[in-house]
Amino acid sequence: MATLKRWVLRSRPQGEIRPENLELVEEQVRDLADGEVLVRTVYLSLDPTNRIWMSDQDQYMPPVGIGDTMRGGSIGVVEQSRSGRFKQGDLVNTGLGGWSTHVVANEGALFPVPQIPGVPVTAFMSVLGATGLTAWFGMCDIGKPQAGETVVVSAAAGAVGSIAGQIAKLKGARVIGIAGGKAKCDWLTGELGFDGAIDYKNEDVGAALDRLCPNGIDVNFENVGGAIMDAVVDRMNNYGRMPLCGMISTYNDNDRPAGPKDFARVLMHRLTIRGFIVTDFLPRAGEAMAELIPWVASGQLKWKVHVDQGLEGAMTSLQRLFTGDHDGKLLIQVSPEP
Amino acid sequence: MATLKRWVLRSRPQGEIRPENLELVEEQVRDLADGEVLVRTVYLSLDPTNRIWMSDQDQYMPPVGIGDTMRGGSIGVVEQSRSGRFKQGDLVNTGLGGWSTHVVANEGALFPVPQIPGVPVTAFMSVLGATGLTAWFGMCDIGKPQAGETVVVSAAAGAVGSIAGQIAKLKGARVIGIAGGKAKCDWLTGELGFDGAIDYKNEDVGAALDRLCPNGIDVNFENVGGAIMDAVVDRMNNYGRMPLCGMISTYNDNDRPAGPKDFARVLMHRLTIRGFIVTDFLPRAGEAMAELIPWVASGQLKWKVHVDQGLEGAMTSLQRLFTGDHDGKLLIQVSPEP
């Protein structure tokens, strides 16, 4: 009988995640019932929202229960099947399969990973997965950049930010990214074609925004929260839009993050702030994919993954999201591609 | 030659308005040029935004200049005319005619006040003026209450709030108002038909919201800011909408008002916050009037004015907005109706 390994949430982090919060357990894979499939996890997605799910703060889905497998998106390959829909060797998206080497799932919870010539499997864990959909809906449905407008993206070298900024460029906007460190900023302005980049670790963000956004800011794609958000909001133009995608700078805090310091600006400049979660948009995923797939296939939309090897290191890998010690979308390769 | 009196801004208030900030000056009315009209002010509108215009903080139109007539909306009667469009005795809306007994205006800056049987002139300074349009666009265009949803209105016994709440009722929502004092709360639940009212001066707002909004809050029509806003935002449901109409609790502060204390709620519950100013909607005023006029004429939409007599007392009258010592829309009657 096969065994699996999975990370179990043992306690909720207070501040930064600590080793005692998660435990790697090993156990036998249970027998399959009719309609069930055993999937060997190939790629596991690590995302800022993992930290939210570990807490019991008010959030958009129930937190991971103490004693439950840590939640996470994954793609895997079918090893055994008692389903008529999937056969051994099929590549499948397990949704939120979790931090586990294997997943037993009902056939109804799985969907096939499409094969597109020249597009690697990791694209479906990134630019053509939840990451790309988050960027597309946040930018196109909420931010709605018009040609010639100025768009600022925070955490711009991150998985979502790097795609969101490029989408705004493809829509004809001027795009300024905020990221940590010279290498990331160079990647934004060099390879991705951003019009400017601000290294928040070494620059005064407000002064840099004044320099790079002489006509103010029309769209703020907000990923970070805190002082960086305040600096951007303070420079937003009349009728500016702010898709609120995340506030990663605050996720290790025990206090709830505060809103913009100058909320009068929202009133005086008639700003729209809208929080969003990609899952709400999944029924409309086709609209986004209709633009994203051709952009990816043609190379107009660039994307990057950082792949760490092995589920054992998942906790260490997750830290990279908070230290910024990675580029683009962060994945763990749990087992080889088929 | 006729004389006029007008209030001139002499200095900007720091905190509460003080007598030295404004001066009442008397001067001769100048001769009319071709196309000009002399209007005797009948009603002057006092609004929270007056306090904003007196400051030089970042705002939605230029502040009143030092030495300029204090800005304010008014209706008056034509006393002299060198215009083919207006004749002596006509009742006209002067737009932002200002705190003055008389206004010399070009015919292009005036528009006639319509006469509707049974509807008094003061309605056009209230429920059928900027006040009613503010309530209608904020509630119908941004708040969009659905039948059965729960709507909270702060400053609910105020000019805009009392109309906004009734509009939500007419759209089929459950409406809870927040106001200061038992008399105002009784007016809301008695005469205006609100489903509940919270006396913020004598009740714990959070506890009262918990009691009166057992299914959470779908729309927050925000007029107040500060701690009351926080208490409402903390109870907003998924996909809640927050038209941000004003933050009167903060207008006498020298610091800019802060955003919601728990901004994570905006993300987790996918809230939309939108600041708005009624002037942006004036091109669409017809849409609002098409609903407001029948509601007013039929008595379905109730409204109240508090009329102080005499331009001389304008500064004292304006204080009522901040102490709450008035009901409904606050006006000054500067001279008799024609």
Domains in chain B: ranges and CATH: 3-126+304-333 (3.90.180.10), 130-280+290-294 (3.40.50.720)
Of chain B, the percentage scoring pLDDT greater than 70 comes to: 100
* Contact check, Cβ <8 Å, B258/A257: no
The whole-angstrom separation of Cα A176 and Cα A194 is 6
Give tens-digit pLDDT for B92-136. Answer: 999 999 999 999 999 999 999 998 888 999 999 999 999 999 999
State residue B338's pLDDT score. Answer: 87
Inter-chain Cβ pairs, chain A and chain B, closer than 8 A:
119
* Cβ contacts of B244 on chain A, cutoff 8 Å: 263, 266-267
pLDDT of residue B2: 85
Read off the pLDDT of residues B304-336 as tens digits, 9 standing for 90 and up.
999 999 999 999 999 998 888 888 899 999 999
Closest partner residue to A270 (CB to CB) among B259, B261, B276 is: B276
**pLDDT at residue A1, rounded to an integer:** 63
Contacts of A254 in chain B (CB under 8 A): none
User: What stretches of A15-104 show up as alpha helix (H) in DSSP?
Assistant: 49-54
Does residue B260 contact residue B130 with C-beta atoms inside 8 Å? no
CA-to-CA dists, residue A144 to A77, A151, B203, angstroms:
38, 10, 42
Min CA distance, A26 vs chain B (Å)? Answer: 33
> Measured between CA atoms, how close is A86 to chain B, in angstroms?
35
β-strand partners of A74: A44
Is B207's pLDDT higher than 70? yes
| Through-space distance between the first and last CA atoms of chain B, rounded to whole angstroms | 21
**Residue A272: its chain B contacts at CB < 8 A?**
272-275
| B→A interface, C-beta within 8 Å | 57-60, 225, 238, 244-247, 250, 256-277, 280
Do B259 and A256 count as a contact with CB atoms less than 8 A apart?
no
- Chosen for mutation from A47, A230, A252, A266 (greatest number of chain B CBs closer than 10 Å) is A266
Interface touch B263/A274, C-beta < 8 Å: no
**Do A276 and B259 make contact, defined as CB atoms within 8 angstroms?**
no
Contacts of A186 (CB under 8 A, 6+ apart): A197
Question: 10 Å Cβ neighbour count for B310?
Answer: 13
Report, in this order, helix, strand and coil percent for chain A, each rounded to 5.
30, 25, 40
d(CA A195, CA A209): 12
Tokens of B135: 């309530």
CB contact under 8 A, A270 and B260: no
**pLDDT computed for residue B275 by the predictor:** 98
Report which secondary-structure segment, H or E, holds A26: strand A22-28
pLDDT(B72) > 80: yes
Q: Name the residue facing A273 among B247, B266, B280 (closest C-beta).
A: B266
Mean pLDDT of chain B: 95
> pLDDT at residue B1 above 80?
no
Looking at residue A146, its pLDDT comes to: 98
CA distances from residue B211 to A84, B152, B180 in whole angstroms, order as listed: 52, 13, 18
Indicate the helix (H) or strand (E) that contains B316: helix B314-323
pLDDT of residue A271: 98
**Chain A contact probe: residue of B221, B222, B266 with most A CBs at under 10 A:** B266
pLDDT along chain A (338 residues), means of 10: 93 94 96 97 96 94 97 97 97 95 96 90 95 98 98 96 98 98 97 98 98 98 96 98 94 88 96 97 95 95 96 94 88 96
* pLDDT for residue B117: 87
User: What pTM was estimated for this model as a whole?
Assistant: 0.93
Of B259, B267, B276, the CB nearest to A246: B267
Q: Per-residue pLDDT tens for B211-251?
A: 999 999 999 999 999 999 999 999 999 999 999 999 988 88
